[in-house]
A and B are shown apart, each in its own frame.
Chain A
Amino acid sequence: MQGGEIIRGLMRDVSIIGIGQTPVGEHWSRSLRHLAYDALSLAMRDAGTDRVDALYLGNMLSGEISGQAHLGALVADFAGMRGIEAVKVEAACASGAAAFRQGLMGVAGGYQDVVAVVGVEKMTDDVGSKVTAGLASAADADYETVHGVTFVALNALIMRRYMYEYGLSKEDFANFSVNAHANGANNPNAMFQRAISQDTFMKAGVVADPITLFDASPMADGAAAVILCPTELAREFSDNAVRILGSAAATDSLAVHDRKNPLWLQAAETSAQKAYKQAHIGPQDIDFFELHDAFTIMAALSLEACGFAEPGQGTRLAVDGEIALDGRLPIATMGGLKARGHPVGATGMYQIVEAALQLRGQAGKNQLAGPRIGMTQNIGGSGATIVTHILTNNLNQ
């Protein structure tokens, strides 16, 4: 029996009634609070509401980079909502989706009716080595970080072993990056809006061998937001609401070395299986998947753990073109972390906003043909926190 099954029947169904996002990139003139407000105000305007009962902020590095803790109260006040309940949720790179889940639970549980969730990150306010150290703080401080291990390095360690065990070459990963950049080219909010060739991928400089520049997603500033309310009230606000069919989070060991199998994202499997069960569907029912391609290796591992590919076969979906917009399982449809950019604590909210755009038929040149069910998956650290959501544009059922 999974936790939450018994009382889930008593909870309220929840939908997204407004979305907003800022462009991802280097916002020299906008601080943390400005970025959060930009996305929040866009989402509130989209929902047609001028009040919310609570604000949940997904953010990782405000303390480390901006010297700012206590982000909930700061943004609530700055946004002219002094007095409401507001709190920051931190789960490394999974902070965005973790905050979304808190908002969902607030509405589902009846504690709040209209809730705002904002993912925000400001990464360009400090020097590279400090940001690198901040990101590495998502790993085990006493047994990983103390050895000078970076976040990229942890992914490189996983990727090299994966290539070794399954006999893969760098070329097998190329299409994850090529696909993301092709899709980012049509996303006006993406950090990189230029397609790349397989050749460009293969010739890119080394970051941490075997990870090269086009395996890795770029650090950036950005904010994305949604407004949530009970599905039964959604039509009062919106004629294109997006309903949450499944929501689950799971954890794994913080350190890569503490996993029985470092090549398997157990928390991705656990959270995806829980979300499938809540939605009464399986992986074959997912029309598109906004996955956490912080590195190409993470895309492969995520596809495997969620049941879209057998262990060691994740890159086949890329090589065979199944991840393209016209493929069997489109991924990173607006550029993914790779091309849209990876403002860490905001990323999970960008994924959800982008999935909502697809389900609302507002994805522009990247619009899929009539998608009904989309999945998002936000990965914290090297896989220690993984949050999976399943969304639909079908409000009845």
Chain B
Amino acid sequence: MTVEIARHWRLNAQRYSLVGEECPTCHDKIFPPRDVCPHCAEAAGPDFHFSGKGEVFSHTAIYNAPEGFETQAPYTVALVKLKEGPLITAQLTDVQNDDVQIGMPVEMVTRKLAEQGDEGLILYGYKFRPQLAAA
């Protein structure tokens, strides 16, 4: 239980506010954060706060959910291309699956991700919804 919480607690900055990094060498914006820049292999740099704005790069709907997600099915997952560059995997929310399209502008919101284990640990983190002022 304690170990499980620590595993998620240490990711709070990423899950709640999309904190990544900017590489001091090649200036690529990096999410998720790493110890080493994946593009130039230099030590990755200072925190970078992503805007949470982006567009749908690809999407699908999940009907046969893995353990811990059964009660949410069906739900939509997407690769979102963040405005600052990186792709990110997340669920889409506040939208019908049939209305999702590649290229659709989306923005980050914080929602419940999953309920895990018998202790009922609830995980919160980022999902994306259609941009309210898309135009």
A157 touches B79 (CB 8 A): yes
Contact residues on B (Cβ < 8 Å of other chain), bracket = 35 or more
Question: From residue 3 to 40 of chain B, which have CB atoms closer than 8 A to chain A?
Answer: 7, 11, 14, 32, 38-39
Q: Does B99 contact A (CB under 8 A)?
A: no
How close is B74's CB to chain A, nearest CB, in angstroms? 10
Known: A256-B79, A257-B79. A160 touches B58 (CB 8 A): yes
Instruction: Give a binary string over B43-60; 1 marks a CB under 8 Å from any A CB, 0 the rest.
Output: 000000000000001111
In the complex, identify which listed stretch (A96-104, A144-152, A363-371) lies at the interface while the others stay far away.
Answer: A144-152
B58 touches A164 (CB 8 A): yes
A257 touches B87 (CB 8 A): yes
A150 contact from B58, B62, B114, Cβ within 8 A: B62
Q: Does A161 contact B (CB under 8 A)?
A: yes
B66 touches A257 (CB 8 A): no
Q: Does A136 contact B (CB under 8 A)?
A: yes
Q: Does A279 contact B (CB under 8 A)?
A: no
Q: Does B65 contact A (CB under 8 A)?
A: yes
Taking CB atoms, residues of chain A closer than 8 Å to B87 are 256-259, 262
A148 touches B79 (CB 8 A): no
In the complex, identify which listed stretch (A125-133, A317-325, A335-343) lies at the interface while the others stay far away.
Answer: A125-133
A160 contact from B11, B38, B62, B102, Cβ within 8 A: B102
Taking CB atoms, residues of chain A closer than 8 Å to B91 are 147-148
Question: From residue 38 to 73 of chain A, which have CB atoms closer than 8 A to chain B?
Answer: none
Q: How far is the CA of A150 from the CA of B14 in the complex (A)?
A: 21
Number of interface residues of A (CB under 8 A): 38
Q: How far is the CA of A149 from the CA of B114 in the complex (A)?
A: 12
Taking CB atoms, residues of chain B closer than 8 Å to A262 are 58, 79, 87
Q: How far is the CA of A335 from the CA of B18 in the complex (A)?
A: 44
B58 touches A257 (CB 8 A): no
Taking CB atoms, residues of chain B closer than 8 Å to A143 are 14, 32, 88-89
Instruction: Give a binary string over B67-96; 1 marks a CB under 8 Å from any A CB, 0 the rest.
Output: 111101001011100000011111100000
Known: A144-B89, A164-B58. A133 touches B79 (CB 8 A): no
Q: Does B113 contact A (CB under 8 A)?
A: yes
Known: A147-B91, A262-B79. A208 touches B63 (CB 8 A): yes
Q: Does B61 contact A (CB under 8 A)?
A: yes
Q: How far is the CA of A146 from the CA of B78 in the complex (A)?
A: 13
Known: A148-B75, A161-B57, A164-B58. A130 touches B89 (CB 8 A): no
Taking A143-B89, A146-B125, A152-B62 as given, write out 17 further A-B residue pairs in contact, using a Cβ cutoff of 8 Å, ordered by the A residue number.
A129-B65, A129-B70, A132-B66, A133-B68, A140-B89, A147-B125, A148-B68, A148-B72, A148-B113, A157-B60, A160-B60, A161-B58, A164-B58, A209-B61, A211-B60, A256-B79, A257-B79
Chain B residues near A (Cβ < 8 Å): 7, 11, 14, 32, 38-39, 57-70, 72, 75, 77-79, 86-91, 102, 113-114, 123, 125, 127
Chain A residues near B (Cβ < 8 Å): 128-130, 132-133, 136, 140, 142-150, 152-153, 156-158, 160-161, 164, 206-211, 253, 255-260, 262
